[in-house]
Amino acid sequence: PLDTTIPDPALIVLIGAAGSGKSTWARTWPSTQVLELDQFRAMVSDCAGDQSATLAAATVLHTALEARLARKKTTVIDATNTEAHVRAGLLDIARSYGVPAVAFLVSTPADVCVARQTGRSPARAVPEDVVRRQHAETIAAFPHLRAEGFAHVVLADRVHRLELLLRRAGD
């Protein structure tokens, strides 16, 4: 059975295609706990959708993550994280601070993710082929996440959203 336990502190790595709903899920955590890659792209380039700023943005995000995990602060990474090498970089940081990592899969159907791109500004809309590749990577990653080093693998669902919202209301 799936273990939906999220320890505290934890590094929570959201995994899902563009438009899957990661940022919507991220809002169930206190905003100071969420590191959103788009915001770091905007921070370094004035443009959240500037893909050429990804490396610089990820470097600053990693620095912020280290500062938080050094203080044992639960942190949510809001980025697609569909590529294993990207997850490996995050897992390395969590391991070095002794904080367990949780994979939080947002596996919304590819057609839904694609349809959600249509209303977006050209700067934020992700091309259909990229969205479908990210979705396929999400599904393919699922059986390997424990072996990658995630202590828990959680599938985003309605019950879980309720649990998270109740937990936050109780803070």
- Which residues form the interface with Mg ion (CB under 5 A)? 22-23
How many residues form the binding site for ligand GTP (CB under 6 A)? 12
Measured CA to CA, the distance from residue 124 to residue 102 in angstroms comes to 27
Q: Which of 24, 59, 63, 96 binds ligand GTP (CB under 6 A)?
A: 24
- Indicate whether 19 belongs to the interface with ligand GTP (CB under 6 A): yes
Q: Which is nearer to Mg ion, 23 or 33 (CB)?
A: 23
In sequence order, which ranges of 81-141 are alpha helices (DSSP H)?
Answer: 84-96, 110-115, 128-141
Q: Which is nearer to ligand GTP, 55 or 123 (CB)?
A: 123
Q: Which of 49, 17, 22, 21 is nearest to 132 (CA)?
A: 17
- Coil vs helix vs strand at 114: helix
Tokens 């799936």, residue? 2
- Indicate whether 23 belongs to the interface with ligand GTP (CB under 6 A): yes
Residues between 38 and 97 that touch ligand GTP (CB under 6 A):
38, 80
Binding site for ligand GTP (CB under 6 A): 16, 18-24, 38, 80, 116, 126
